[in-house]
Amino acid sequence: MKRTFLTLLVAIAFAGSGFAQDGEKKTISLNQADGAKIQFEKTQHDFGTIKEGTQATVSFMFTNTGSTPLVLNSVQASCGCTTPKWTKEPIAPGATGEVTAIYNSKGRPGNFTKTITVKHNGEGAVEYLTIRGFVDKAETPPTSPVMTPEK
């Protein structure tokens, strides 16, 4: 009896859900031609050789080549030695924006390659920017021996 009642209840619920929708059909476009599209001028930058302690900075310019506003949801560097800055307001179709990467080379001699991940509402949803270079170790000034006065 309980099983029959439950089956009947489930059948009525499914049948009723068909009548709950209005007669108007709504379509959602999944066409990639619609929406925002990000186009970077370049996605990689090589600083070459820089001196240790330098704040190496590069700007990656981009254009919204889509048909709706582009929003950068998050921009994250692969480590704490690189600080990203970016255009925070929506970028209209045809307008440009910028992602700036600042690499702190203090205490980091040698080769480096860092990635900046750009998440956005456009086609593809994620872009990767790369910076690289070589940090030339800073010369350490000669230290003089510490002399203590005699007692």
Instruction: Give me the chain's average pLDDT, please.
Output: 83
- The pLDDT of residue 144 is 61
What band does 141 get if pLDDT is binned at 50, 70 and 90? low
* Maximal C-alpha separation, the chain: 105
For the chain, the domains span: 38-136
Dump pLDDT digits (tens) for 100-135.
Answer: 999 999 999 999 999 999 999 999 999 999 999 999
**Confidence band, pLDDT 50/70/90 cuts, at residue 142:** low
- CA distance to 38, 57, 111, 132, 136, per residue, from 52 (Å): 34, 14, 11, 14, 6
What are residue 146's phi and psi, to 5 degrees? Answer: -80, 125
Q: Which CATH class is domain 38-136?
A: mainly beta
User: What is the model's pLDDT at position 129?
Assistant: 98
User: Between these two residues, 104 and 14, which has the higher pLDDT value?
Assistant: 104
